[in-house]
């Protein structure tokens, strides 16, 4: 039986891990909620963020990479929307699901062509590359920084969507695209912008996660599955749902490592199964565009 | 007219294939070229190509050139499906395989079923020389019992208590089980805990906190492949190495290279199947490798390159000595083989009782930064355990190695 100290330190770590997961999931959730797209290439964008951080760290340092890499990934997202995704608006959501999955697979191969097959290491920024002794827990500085960065990015995204005028237009576009067009808004441009923004979020998550989980070609698909489950648990397309889902998975993982470490990887599936039994649309899900 | 033309083309091309097949000796190599273990396949390919180049430069085998047909091993089922096709359609004479224990287990069964020789180049699973051992299958790397026999006595010198991080599949479980056996034989080291880590784990923060709370003297890490890179990064991130000694019974150079020179400092002791500093021949092999692959992903040959090289060398040397490509004759020859060019301290031998290829195992520790000669020169040799001293007793071999008709 773990002692009190261990329980507290594990739960603290679970919350921080959950914030990091939420950051990965939030862009995936947003593109689903706002555009009705299940973007299986979100993991690829995450991986691209991490790889760009790896390459850029030698030239512009970690913080330079944190700014530049997401911008590049955002532009790649815009290009992706412009070339592929916009052809499928208004069609069965399954089409875009298959398309983005294909893009993800092809993208992984392209990553291998450019950066090779072996894992790469990204160093944590100098100010956070050590650990702090809190007495009850010795914790990684970088994870604390990451949790703060995740909270900040999530908060800023929420503000942009819920409080800003642009956010109102985006949300109106989800509910009534026709009316938004009639009001003179350039809907295709807005959609491209939103997709690019979610790509940017994915890229930012990749940069932030790079020093932790080591950078390798399969990391995109590795990240996609937890992100998808978190969105399912939190509620399809619900912004705060994905944050809640991330936190729940983080804490559940910490608890399972304390009591049943062998089954730690099963916890998120069990959690998803239990949630879906009682809340078929996820915890905070509403009737979504996919129904 | 058209038919005659087509028939002529078909005949010519069939004839061409037949001559081609007779002209060269063909090895089918099923190694991981994609997915999580793709980076290991890269190393294996380097080693196979080097062996081939040397053998062909020396006149080939039985006066014929040797060629290799590469295929991505994929899953166990995919590997045997491809192997069947290569055997039936492509005229492959021998197989070598990578891709870990599950692909190797399937390939061992494939070899027995088809009476064709297969050498496994990268698994460390005990089962392959026990229950799964058979007449046509050979294991090149040391299994977990040999690793434990070589490594644990050195670990015991580091402290009085150990904690295991065990990858929760056949490899990790076998490693920990065997190391625990040797610990019990030694007697005065206490095991204070074990955490089983599911395959595919990316975040180890919870496990690291649990290990720290258990306060062992030594943390033994039996985690392999791409998961281990992430684990090592996070042991570094949490500074766990300040509280305990980190020991890795089987460290791939691919992993230590991936995490960068600095982070290797945290590793107190590691086991490797090969190091270029163990003999002059090993050094010379490293130099040849660097000359041939100046832009390789890995600046020095890794264990996986060396095992692939040695596997192909010993196989072809046996075929040459047997004067035949026929499986039965080559198996008989292999069972009595000694490869002097082992790139280790002692020659490589093959044990007839279970088809374990017996080779030395090397214990290393991090080299002080001031003494390093190059960016890859991260480790120095602590000791080399002779293969004959660490291989499990022959009496324990239980498999039936006779030909079944």
Give the pLDDT confidence of B158-199 residue by residue, as tens digits: 999 999 999 998 889 999 999 999 999 999 899 999 999 998
Calculate mean pLDDT across residues B372-383: 92
Same domain, B233 and B368: yes
pLDDT above 60: residue B150: yes
Same domain, B173 and B70: no
Instruction: State the greatest distance between any 2 C-alpha atoms of chain B, in Å, as a whole number.
Output: 87
Could you tell me which of B227, B229, B230, B217 has the C-alpha nearest to residue B188?
B217
Q: Is residue B132 in some structural domain?
A: yes
Backbone angles phi and psi of A69, in degrees to 5 = -60, -50
- Inter-chain CB proximity A214 and B239 less than 8 Å: no
**Average pLDDT over chain B, rounded to an integer:** 90
d(CA A290, CA A283): 17
Chain A CA closest to residue B298: A118
pLDDT above 90: residue A176: no
Q: Is residue B90 in some structural domain?
A: yes
How confident is residue B20, by pLDDT bands cut at 50, 70 and 90? very low
pLDDT, residue B4, reads 54
Same domain, B170 and B244: yes
pLDDT, residue A187, reads 84
pLDDT, residue B350, reads 94
pLDDT, residue B261, reads 87
The pTM score is 0.86
pLDDT, residue A184, reads 83
Share of chain B above pLDDT 90, in %: 72
How confident is residue B12, by pLDDT bands cut at 50, 70 and 90? low
Same domain, B90 and B194: no
Closest CB to B233 among A3, A121, A222: A121
Contact assessment for residue B354 and residue B397, using Cβ atoms and an 8 Å cutoff: yes
pLDDT tens, A56-99?
A: 999 999 999 999 999 999 999 999 999 999 888 878 888 999 99
pLDDT, residue B15, reads 46
Same domain, B45 and B138: yes
pLDDT tens, A259-286?
A: 888 888 899 999 999 999 999 889 998 7
pLDDT above 60: residue B17: no
**Contact A14/B at CB under 8 A:** yes
Domain span holding position B36: 2-142+284-359
Q: Is residue B328 in some structural domain?
A: yes
Q: What CATH number is associated with residue B222?
A: 3.40.50.2300
Contact assessment for residue A234 and residue A243, using Cβ atoms and an 8 Å cutoff: yes
Chain B CA closest to residue A124: B237
Closest CB to A257 among B200, B210, B239: B210
d(CA B325, CA B275): 32
Closest CB to A138 among B168, B196, B212: B212
Closest CB to A218 among B36, B233, B239: B36
Question: Which of the residues A219, A257, A262 would you substitute to probe the B interface, choosing the one with the greatest number of B C-beta atoms within 10 Å?
Answer: A257
Q: Is residue B404 in some structural domain?
A: no
- Inter-chain CB proximity A211 and B200 less than 8 Å: no
- Inter-chain CB proximity B207 and A257 less than 8 Å: yes
Calculate mean pLDDT across residues A187-215: 91
Contact assessment for residue B330 and residue B323, using Cβ atoms and an 8 Å cutoff: no
Q: How far is CA B16 from CA A265, B10, B194, in A?
A: 54, 10, 60
pLDDT above 50: residue B278: yes
Closest CB to A265 among B198, B257, B258: B198
pLDDT, residue A290, reads 62
pLDDT, residue B225, reads 78
Count of domains in chain B? 2
Same domain, B26 and B128: yes
pLDDT, residue B404, reads 53
Calculate mean pLDDT across residues A146-166: 92
Same domain, B126 and B43: yes
- Complex confidence, ipTM: 0.84
pLDDT, residue A168, reads 86
Of A126-135, B249-258, B287-296, B326-335, minimum mean pLDDT range: A126-135
Same domain, B300 and B258: no
pLDDT, residue A121, reads 86
Same domain, B127 and B163: no
Same domain, B129 and B195: no
pLDDT tens, B99-120?
A: 988 899 999 999 999 999 999 9
Q: How far is CA A117 from CA A100, A111, A112, B39, B344, in A?
A: 22, 8, 5, 5, 28
pLDDT, residue A262, reads 87
pLDDT, residue B8, reads 54
Q: Is residue B403 in some structural domain?
A: no
Q: Which residue has the higher pLDDT, B158 or A237?
A: B158
Calculate mean pLDDT across residues B269-289: 94
Calculate mean pLDDT across residues B258-273: 92
Q: Which residue has the higher pLDDT, A287 or A251?
A: A251
Question: Which of the residues B169, B231, B233 would you substitute to probe the A interface, choosing the one with the greatest number of A C-beta atoms within 10 Å?
Answer: B233
Partners of residue A263 in chain B, C-beta under 8 Å: 198
How confident is residue A129, by pLDDT bands cut at 50, 70 and 90? confident
Q: How far is CA B237 from CA A53, A115, A121, B262, B267, in A?
A: 18, 24, 12, 12, 13
- Inter-chain CB proximity B207 and A131 less than 8 Å: no
**Contact A88/B at CB under 8 A:** no
E strands in A34-149: 131-133, 138-140
pLDDT, residue B5, reads 59
Partners of residue B227 in chain A, C-beta under 8 Å: none
How confident is residue B398, by pLDDT bands cut at 50, 70 and 90? confident
Same domain, B25 and B100: yes
Would you tell me which residues 153-192 of chain A have a C-beta closer than 8 angstroms to some C-beta of chain B? none
């Amino acid at each position: 039986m773990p002692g009190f100290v261990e329980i507290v330190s594990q739960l603290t770590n679970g919350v921080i891990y959950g914030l990091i997961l939420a950051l990965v999931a939030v862009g995936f959730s947003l593109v689903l909620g706002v555009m009705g797209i299940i973007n299986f290439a979100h993991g690829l964008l995450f991986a691209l963020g991490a790889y760009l951080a790896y390459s850029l760290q030698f030239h512009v340092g970690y913080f330079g990479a944190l700014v530049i890499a997401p911008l590049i990934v955002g532009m790649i997202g815009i290009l992706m929307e412009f070339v592929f995704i916009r052809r499928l608006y208004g069609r069965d959501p399954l089409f875009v699901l298959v398309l983005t999955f294909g893009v993800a697979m092809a993208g992984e191969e392209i990553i291998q062509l450019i950066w090779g097959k072996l894992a790469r290491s990204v160093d944590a920024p100098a100010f956070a590359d050590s650990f702090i002794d809190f007495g009850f827990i010795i914790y990684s500085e970088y994870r604390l920084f990451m949790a703060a960065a995740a909270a900040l990015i999530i908060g800023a995204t929420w503000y942009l969507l819920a409080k800003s005028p642009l956010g109102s237009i985006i949300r109106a576009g989800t509910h009534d695209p026709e009316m938004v067009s009639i009001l003179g808004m350039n809907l295709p441009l807005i959609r491209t912008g939103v997709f690019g923004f979610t790509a940017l979020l994915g890229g930012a998550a990749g940069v932030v996660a790079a020093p932790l989980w080591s950078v390798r070609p399969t990391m995109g698909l590795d990240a996609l599955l937890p992100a998808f489950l978190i969105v399912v648990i939190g509620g399809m397309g619900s912004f705060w749902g994905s944050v809640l889902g991330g936190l729940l998975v983080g804490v559940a993982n910490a608890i399972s490592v304390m009591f049943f470490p062998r089954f730690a990887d099963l916890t998120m599936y069990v959690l998803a199964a239990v949630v879906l039994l009682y809340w078929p649309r996820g915890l905070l899900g509403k009737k979504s565009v996919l129904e | 007219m058209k038919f005659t033309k087509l028939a002529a083309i078909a005949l010519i091309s069939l004839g061409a294939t037949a001559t081609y097949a007779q002209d060269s000796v063909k090895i089918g190599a099923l190694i991981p070229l994609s997915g999580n273990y793709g980076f290991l396949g890269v190393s294996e390919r380097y080693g196979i190509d080097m062996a081939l180049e040397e053998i062909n430069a020396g006149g080939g085998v039985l006066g014929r050139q040797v060629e290799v047909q590469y295929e991505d091993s994929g899953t166990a089922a995919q590997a045997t499906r491809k192997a069947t096709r290569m055997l039936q359609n492509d005229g492959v004479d021998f197989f070598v395989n990578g891709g870990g224990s599950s692909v190797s287990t399937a390939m061992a069964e494939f070899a027995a079923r088809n009476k064709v020789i297969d050498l496994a180049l990268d698994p460390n699973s005990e089962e392959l020389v026990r229950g799964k051992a058979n007449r046509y299958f050979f294991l090149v790397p040391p299994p977990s019992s040999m690793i434990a026999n070589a490594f644990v006595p050195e670990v015991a010198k580091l402290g009085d208590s150990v904690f295991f991080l065990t990858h929760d599949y056949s490899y990790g479980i076998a490693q920990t089980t065997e190391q625990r056996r040797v610990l019990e034989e030694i007697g005065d080291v206490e095991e204070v805990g074990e955490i089983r880590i599911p395959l595919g784990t990316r975040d180890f923060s919870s496990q690291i906190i649990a290990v720290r709370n258990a306060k062992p003297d030594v943390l033994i890490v039996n985690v392999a492949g791409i998961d281990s890179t992430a684990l090592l990064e996070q042991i570094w991130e949490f500074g766990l190495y300040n509280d305990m000694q980190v020991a890795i019974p089987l460290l791939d150079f691919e992993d230590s290279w991936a995490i960068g020179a600095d982070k290797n400092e945290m590793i107190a002791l590691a086991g490797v199947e090969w190091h270029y500093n163990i003999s002059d021949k090993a050094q010379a092999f490293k130099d040849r490798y660097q000359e041939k692959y100046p832009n390789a992903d890995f600046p020095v040959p890794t264990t996986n390159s060396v095992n692939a090289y040695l596997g192909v060398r010993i196989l072809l040397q046996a075929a040459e000595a047997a004067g035949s490509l026929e499986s039965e004759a080559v198996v008989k020859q292999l069972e009595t083989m000694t490869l002097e060019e082992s790139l280790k301290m002692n020659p490589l031998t093959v044990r007839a009782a279970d088809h374990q290829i017996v080779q030395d195992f090397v214990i290393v520790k991090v080299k002080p930064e001031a003494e390093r000669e190059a960016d890859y020169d991260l480790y120095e040799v602590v000791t080399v355990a002779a293969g004959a001293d660490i291989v499990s007793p022959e009496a324990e071999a239980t498999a039936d190695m006779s030909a079944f008709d």
